[in-house]
Amino acid sequence: MNKQPSATLADVQAVYSGAEGDLWELIMGQQIHIGGLVSSMDLAEKANIQAGSRGIDFCCCTGAGMRFLVRFRDVARMTGVDATEKVIALGRRRCEEEGLADRISFVLADVCDCGLPGGSADFVWGEDAWCYVVDKPRMIAEAARLVRPGGTVAFTDWVEGDTPMDDAEMERFLRFMKFPNVETRDGYAKLLTENGCNVAVCENTGRYAPCVDLYLNMIGMQLTYDALRLIGFDQSLLAAIGDEMQFMQGLAHAGKLVQGLFVATKE
Ligand SMILES: C[S@@+](CC[C@H](N)C(=O)[O-])C[C@H]1O[C@@H](n2cnc3c(N)ncnc32)[C@H](O)[C@@H]1O
C-alpha cells in the first residue's frame, strides 16, 4: 500500500463540504463513482444482494447508492455512514424528496468506528470511496464486525493496477485526489481474509480508463461553464484540474490505476 500521510479526514471533509465535491457531482452525477448505475448493478449482481435484506453503506455521501439499492434491488433497509455533515444533510433531503426516507437513514461517523451494532447487517456496501479512508485495516475490520455470519462485504474502489506507479506518480496522484493512501487488489483481499471473510470476487472492472476519458470530454466539450461557475470562474484553476485529470487518464491507460470490485463472505 502506498501512502501520503499528510492527507487527513479533515481534508476529505473539506472536499465534500465545498466546490470540489460539487465538481465531482457535476461530472459524475449523484452517484459519485466510476460507471454510475452500471457499476452499482454489476456490484449488486456479483454480491447477490437480496430483496428484503439490510445493508450498511460505508462512505455513502448523499446516499445515491442506497437509493439505488432500495429502488432496484428492493433492499428493505439501508443505513449510510459518512463523516461529512453537508452531504448527509443533502442526502436526507433527497431521500425525503424521493419518498425513500422511511427505508434509508444516515449516521455521521468515521467508518473506522461507526458505533452501529455488530452482526446487524446482511451486507456492507461501498462504492469508490474507501480510497479516502486513512486506516484501511481498521475500516475493513469494522465492516467485517458489522456483517452477520454468512453476510457479504461488497465494494468497488480506486486501486493500483498491475503495473505499479513510480514514486513521483504516486505522490502526484495522491496529492491531487487527497487520498491518504491507495490499496492494491491483493492488499484488500489480504485484509478481508485476515478479518474472517472469504474473498469470492477480486477483479479489475476495466471501467476506469473509458470513464476518465468521458469525464475529460464532458468538462472540455460540454460542462465547461458549469464547472467554472462552481469554482468562481477561475479559468487557471480549471486548467490545473484538467491537467491533473489528464495525468490520471495517462495512469489509467497505462494500467496503473483501476476500479477494483470485491465481494467477500463473512465466515
Ligand atoms: C466519492 S464520495 C462517495 C461516493 C458514494 N459512495 C457514491 O457512490 O455516490 C466519498 C465520501 O467518503 C466520505 N468519507 C471519506 N472518508 C471517510 C471516513 N473515514 N468515514 C466516513 N466517511 C468518509 C466523504 O465524506 C465522502 O462523502
Count CA atoms closer than 13 A to 8's CA, side-chain side: 2
Whether pLDDT at 3 is above 90: no
Residue nearest ligand 1's atom 27 by CA: 61
pLDDT, residue 216, reads: 96
CB neighbour burial string for 225-247, b if at least 16 within 10 angstroms, e if fewer? eebeebbeeeeeebeebeeebee
**What is the overall mean pLDDT for the chain?**
96
Residues facing residue 258 across a β-bridge: 159
211 Cβ below 6 A of ligand 1: no
Cα separation, 264 vs 266, in Å, equals 7
Residue nearest ligand 1's atom 4 by CA: 32
pLDDT, residue 172, reads: 96
Q: How far is the CA of 145 from the centre of ligand 1 (A)?
A: 19
pLDDT digits (tens, 9 = 90+) for 61-107: 999 999 999 999 999 999 999 999 999 999 999 999 999 999 999 99
**Strand, coil or helix: what is 24?**
helix
Q: Which residue in 164, 191, 176 sits closest to 257, CA to CA?
A: 164
Q: Which residue in 135, 141, 123 sits closest to 55, CA to CA?
A: 123
pLDDT digits (tens, 9 = 90+) for 165-180: 999 999 999 999 999 9
Q: How far is the CA of 133 from the centre of ligand 1 (A)?
A: 8
pLDDT, residue 224, reads: 97
Is 180 within 8 Å of 8 (Cβ atoms)? yes
Residue 210 belongs to domain spanning:
2-266
Give me the mean pLDDT over the 46-50 stretch.
98
142 Cβ below 6 A of ligand 1: no
pLDDT digits (tens, 9 = 90+) for 12-24: 999 899 999 999 9
Residues facing residue 264 across a β-bridge: 153, 199
Rounded-to-10 torsion of CA 263, 260, 141, 85: -110
Q: What is the CATH number of the domain that holds 53?
A: 3.40.50.150
Residue nearest ligand 1's atom 10 by CA: 129
**Strand, coil or helix: what is 43?**
helix
Q: How far is the CA of 128 from the centre of ligand 1 (A)?
A: 8
pLDDT digits (tens, 9 = 90+) for 106-118: 999 999 999 999 9
Helix (H) or strand (E) holding 170: helix 167-177
Percentage of residues of the chain with pLDDT beyond 70:
98
pLDDT, residue 6, reads: 74
Give me the mean pLDDT over the 34-50 stretch.
98
Give me the mean pLDDT over the 199-211 stretch.
98
pLDDT band of residue 225 (cuts 50, 70, 90) is very high
Please state the domain count of the chain.
1
- Alpha-carbon separation of residue 136 from 34, 75, 133 (angstroms): 20, 27, 6
pLDDT band of residue 5 (cuts 50, 70, 90) is low
